[in-house]
Amino acid sequence: MDNLITVFMNYKINRLVAYAMFITEQNGDFEKHIFTEYFRTYVDNYYYHIFHTVDGDTYNISNLKLEFKGIMEDMLYDYRAQELVVSNEEYSHNCQLIRDMNPICFEIVKIDNLEFDAKDEIAQVVSTFIDGNSVLKELLGSRVSKLISLIRETYNTSLKLLNYEENYFQIEERNFEGKKDKVFYNLIPTIKTLDVYRNVTIYKVYRNKNLSLSRTRCLIQKVSFLLLKNLLDKKKSPLIFIEFPDTVIKRGKILDEILDLIDNPLFRQKVVIGVPFTMYQEAKEAFMEDYQFACIQDFTHISDVYQKTDSIRQEGIFHYLIVSDCKYKNRDYFLEYHNESMEVLVFEEE
């Protein structure tokens, strides 16, 4: 199972490729490869703020233009390996194709930023956009209606995904004291029951350790879905904290099926993985992956909270310490704690 964000972004890239193949009337594998490289660069820049040939982490038109130029040069360099493999005519043609598709792809990605409040607006918005875009207008000629159909198809598919609701589980949100930009998410069942007895029974089954891996997969997908919706709606997501159970660790590493679900730049940027300190100590090598980690610690029965806090900080792997519980007399210490290498988070009082 792949990360939901990655799946959607790959779909977006494929749809931009479909637009490009139609607009340019190209249908070869080499052309498809060129389009895919340009549009993957756009997705990395615009949605992930990842740049491959430009220094910086801010998306704007100028940086995208420079990135496209850099990717074009990379493709031309890589294609040099084919100089003695294909004919001179084919080699020259394909090199020119890489150059010619650069400005065209630069205009096509603007379609991705068109906004529609409703499906009925697509025809008007796209027509107006094409009329004002000399490059695409010349290439399309009288074929604008077909492009509108392709864009409408993308819109309908995206809408189905973003409006999908799974009714058996939901995210429970817990806030941290004084930290409005950070939130802890937990998964809870939403099955309606007839009486308290049945409700207790359902929760017992839900909390069964044998189901913890399934719950984790579900939580990751729900968080990914939320991140994706916020991204496409241009809403700022808080930094999200989730907890991993010990069942995600096997033979000293995080299970591949879980790593596959979280293997996405946006997930790395916006989600912090919380683990109990004892779980970390038993499999330290599992937490050296390229992710953000938080230590979740109950300080209720720890006699020296200062020493314990410092020992967690000294591990160097944890960006955050989540105090799941503590004696009330120690609460102020954690709320006032300050260290550049580790931030302490305390749940709001219920």
Question: pLDDT of 319-340, one tens digit each?
Answer: 999 999 999 999 999 999 999 9
Instruction: Quickly state the pLDDT bin for 161 (edges 50, 70, 90).
Output: confident
How many C-beta neighbours within 10 Å does residue 88 have? 8
Instruction: Quickly state the pLDDT bin for 135 (edges 50, 70, 90).
Output: very high
Give percent of the chain above pLDDT 70: 92
User: Which CA distances in Å does 320 have to 5, 168, 219, 293, 350?
Assistant: 25, 31, 20, 7, 22
- Pinpoint the alpha helices (H) of 80-173: 88-108, 122-131, 134-140, 144-162
289: pLDDT strictly greater than 90:
no
Nearest to 151 by CA among 134, 135, 128: 128
Instruction: Quickly state the pLDDT bin for 77 (edges 50, 70, 90).
Output: very high
Q: What is the pTM of this model?
A: 0.88
**Of 30-44, 53-67, 199-213, which gets the smallest average pLDDT?**
199-213
Average pLDDT, the chain: 91
How far from each other are the two terminal CA atoms of the chain, in whole angstroms?
37
Amino acid at residue number 125: V
User: Which CA distances in Å does 164 have to 4, 160, 167, 211, 261?
Assistant: 13, 6, 10, 24, 19
Q: Please tell me the predicted confidence (pLDDT) of residue 208.
A: 56
Nearest to 158 by CA among 16, 37, 314: 16
* Distance from the Cα of residue 8 to its chain's centroid: 10
Q: Where are the domains of the chain?
A: 4-162, 169-346
Q: What φ, ψ does residue 289 adopt, rounded to 5°?
A: -70, 170
Nearest to 294 by CA among 266, 330, 320: 320
Region 232-258: what's the mean pLDDT? 93
Instruction: Quickly state the pLDDT bin for 194 (edges 50, 70, 90).
Output: very low
